[in-house]
Amino acid sequence: MNQSKYNCFTAVVACCFLIVLQACKQNNNSKIESAIKDTVTTTVAVTNNPYKLVDQSPLDIIYCPDEFPQKKMKGELVGDPIARIIYSRPHKKGRTIFSNDSLSLCPYGKPWRLGANEATEVELFRPVLVNGKNVPAGRYVLYCIPYVDRWDIVFNSNLHSWGLDINKAKDVLKIEVPVLLSEPSVEDFTMMFLETAVGADLMMTWDNVKVLLSFTFSK
């Protein structure tokens, strides 16, 4: 083999080696990223954050109008929002959510905090009608009592409470809303405001159940 052919052969081999090396590196990075995603609430939290574990039920904030802070920053909206809800989002994880079984996560007839961890909180920035009933501006705990055909939605003034430690003496308003079926089943408990002609509906859905709470306000 002359020198020219030898140099060409060497260059081809070196190029192939670099391609294989890069592919192995990318594959290894993919495995690492996958492992991080799968262990975000366990190994990574323990290894990289010795101070506080990552909660498995993430905290979320929703606004009415939807995405109010983002739209305000873009100059699309001004002033205050109508409402803001702060809640934690539990996952189904194969469990029975709503049923008559006392072992289900949300048994019929038992108060449920509409989420996980701290009590769910709604802040109204102006007076509104909720399913036709006057609710003054202010902050409230929001919880429900689920039944097979309806939910009783309750506004409560006992702020900064945890779990199901609900003081019924501080109930401000109770509203019945019918249960609707949700298809497909929803893995993560979800709340969001859906715009209507007269205001917005607060949608609450989990598993195969959905309810709508009507908010009426001047636009």
Tokens 């205050």 — which residue?
80
pLDDT tens, residue by residue, 128-142: 999 999 999 999 999
Cα distances (Å, whole numbers) of residue 51 to 40, 54, 202: 15, 10, 36
Q: How many domains does the chain have?
A: 2
Whether the pLDDT of residue 55 is over 60: the answer is yes
> pLDDT confidence of 165, banded at 50, 70, 90?
confident
Which pLDDT does position 28 carry in this prediction? 46
pLDDT-based confidence at residue 48 (cuts at 50, 70, 90): confident
Residue 52, classified by CB atoms within 10 Å of its CB into exposed (0-12), middle (13-18) or buried (19+), is exposed
* Residues 79, 165 share a domain: yes
Of residues 116 and 52, more confidently modeled: 116
Per-residue pLDDT averaged across 41-60, rounded? 68
37 plus 106 within the same structural domain = no
Mean pLDDT value across the chain: 82
What pLDDT is stored for residue 29 in this prediction? 47
Q: Cα(81)–Cα(96) distance, rounded to whole angstroms?
A: 36
- Location of structure tokens 């052919």: 5
141 lies in which domain range? 59-216
Cα(152)–Cα(110) distance, rounded to whole angstroms? Answer: 10
Position 24 pLDDT exceeds 70: no
1 Cβ contact partners less than 8 Å away, ≥ 6 residues apart = 9
Q: Are residues 94 and 166 in the same domain?
A: yes
The answer to whether residues 82 and 34 belong to one domain is: no
* 3-state SS, residue 18: helix
**Percent of the chain residues topping a pLDDT of 90:** 61
Mark whether 127 and 44 lie in a shared domain.
no
Averaged pLDDT, 100-118: 91
